[in-house]
Structure 1
């Protein structure tokens, strides 16, 4: 990324990235989102990723791209969901980010293909996500990943417990 000259210090960029990521997550989990909520969700996800681009690392970048993909899948926009899921995949593979993030990236691809109506590619990516999940060491992380994978076909979201 080209170095951006800004009067905002790195710590502020980091705080904004985290805050916007969490705000986006709150909107993702909102039961009944309005069109204005959807617009805010899109903008906040992109803004979080922008700030991570200045203050973060490849893991933050990959998770930011994943979140943007999730947002677009939620509102039924397959093309940008696929674009950002593929960016997350590229970051995961280039930086060897591990099974947890790779699994979620395949989950994002599967979800985006589900939105697009491509059941074959959806199922291929569900399979890849499940393979990655089997390599996740932390039991809680594995369970959470599998819960997300299990909701792809229905285009629903799991409940955090």
Structure 2
């Protein structure tokens, strides 16, 4: 999922998971890295989706909504397709993963530290397990919004 503004909601989880702030490296080219900060947010009302906000030093921030399962899987193997992909880097001094975000407006490759992200994702799964993250979803409202959402005409 990316940049999704849907109102897909699930029941609340009993535990709040604080945001995770990570220092990433944006790869501008093969040899040039730009340090950048990102905030990862977990919403217990929408547990299957992680909101990632790339905090720009100058200019507007970028917000992406990424499937929690996709993000978690990409820490150990290639995960995702199309506009969001994540995979582990080659073994090195610090465990890290590549995160590639693509859209019509932007294409960006980031290197992110694996250990703090894995620990934070584990906390989200303790708050709402993968087995229960879809419980309580209002599928009718979601499908109605999807089929008759902004920019769609009903006649």
Larger Rg over CA atoms: 2
Which structure carries more strand by proportion?
A: 2
TM-score past 0.5 threshold? no
Which structure carries more helix by proportion?
A: 1
TM-score (normalizing by structure 1):
0.25
TM-score (normalizing by structure 2):
0.25
